[in-house]
Chains A and B, each alone.
Chain A
């Protein structure tokens, strides 16, 4: 838990105590940030008192009212930004005026909360500013390491996580307001959909963890002799429930035994991603052919489906992070958009390669070739 120090500068004691009440026991956590945040609140009635506090204490976030006795908020903001402190400022304004907004952003304020604000609005604003502060601090660390690229990843990721949250919150509000009447059965579909969206989010988080582990190299490879056909059969067993639901039949064609040196959990991820895609992006009554064979000094894994297929443009995008082929046919299918990025990285680790052949409305064939290491 990281505690952020919040300085509330407002001449109205009621506003100050209101903000304190709202934020005192409030925790903020973000799906992609390991730490949680809470807030320690410090009050100041004037800009002059706030100046004294800023000199003595390291403040992370300042909530600043514009109308203050003595020096005005916007004037104070100028002085504070000249000091180049590592803090983020949120303005509290009674009229959310764009003119003031223009001036305040010029002087380095991050966002605004119009008065009167609801506890929810205040919490949302503080969450946004806490995230901004964290990301800002992280950027300077990342810049040093030359890893700004992760940044884009994070921003896409937050969008991917926001959508299911919005959907679930919308359903919960409908239930809270009893929009569909008193009978709980009327809400059955909404509850099921909410659970599905939560599952999707969990899947995304799990995929992301896999990906970050592989990329950062912290994933300890547990290399040992394994029979990959055995793992394939286990993966298939776990895939049948999904296949039955989707009315897709899987036809395995595996050799009896093939022992190689590999990490069994990684081999499982490879099979899992290939087969689950072939099942998910299939048609009703479709088929999946799953073949493992040995050819010269290579293992050949082929997963072929009779599904919706992809056009050339879609195939080019396929291995990029968070790219999910979006069209009418894929709309009902859930996925994180990370599965194939993970597959690609794992196959690279084993010095193998992936070949994709696909035709729209006919199907897709993935051929993974891995060098045989005994």
Chain B
């Protein structure tokens, strides 16, 4: 049994309920929030060991913004972040995930792609490359992705690996 604490941020109360059920069964302590602002408050008051973030909440890329906030804060920069997503994750075995993201985006210029999710299959290094509202490309390193709908068989090993 573990006493690790996990923060789940999602605007869908059912998704929160589902993840909470799965994680509580596994012995984790779960704290929840419905948006970025509440999520950040919980980061500070609860100091979780890991955060699972939804992307589209009140705003389009709220989850990404919160991931960035966590990673850039001195206090929480080592807290692993998992992003929940329903779009496909691109896998690579190239070391330089950022460079690949940019090259990929260039090759996709004919199509309108706002968000790229990338994962190195060997190292597990992952990141988000997205076009923010000002049209600039932003890269945020994260610790992995959880594909929607949530599947305990994939969620639990991913968390266990990060909290080892």
Contacts and interface: CB of A to CB of B under 8 A. Distances in A.
Interface of A: 95-99, 101-102, 105-106, 111, 114, 159, 162-163, 165-167, 169-171, 173-174, 177, 179-180, 189-190, 193, 197, 326-328, 331-332
B44 interface: no
B149 A169 contact: yes
A370 B118 CA distance: 55
B149 A165 contact: yes
B137 interface: no
Q: Size range of the interface on B?
A: 20 to 34
13 contacts: A98-B104, A101-B92, A102-B103, A163-B12, A166-B15, A166-B86, A166-B148, A166-B150, A170-B150, A179-B21, A180-B21, A328-B34, A331-B34
A173 B13 contact: no
Contacts of A106: 107
Contacts of A111: 88
A174 B88 CA distance: 23
Contacts of B92: 97-99, 101
Contacts of A197: 14
Contacts of A101: 90, 92, 104
B152 A173 contact: yes
A171 B14 contact: yes
A158 to B, nearest CB: 10
A98 B91 contact: yes
Nearest to A163: B12
Contact of B121 (A96, A166, A173, A177): A96
B97 to A, nearest CB: 9
A45 B6 CA distance: 49
Contacts of A97: 91-93
Contact of A102 (B34, B104, B121): B104
A114 B58 contact: no
Chain B CB within 10 Å, residue with most, of A105, A106, A170, A171: A170
A105 B108 CA distance: 7
Interface in B86-109: 86, 88, 90-94, 100, 103-104, 107-108
A283 B58 CA distance: 22
B25 interface: yes
Contacts of B46: none
Given A163-B12, A166-B149, A326-B58, A174 B91 contact: no
B13 A332 contact: yes
Interface string B4-34: 0000000111110110011001000000001
A163 B86 CA distance: 10
A61 B76 CA distance: 47
Contacts of A102: 100, 103-104, 107
A174 B12 contact: no
Contact of B100 (A98, A165, A193): A98
B151 interface: yes
Contacts of A174: 18, 21-22, 152
Contacts of A326: 11, 58
B56 interface: yes
Contacts of B91: 96-98, 114
Contact of A167 (B15, B22, B58, B90): B15
Contacts of B15: 166-167, 170
A114 B104 CA distance: 18
A167 B12 contact: yes
B17 A179 contact: no
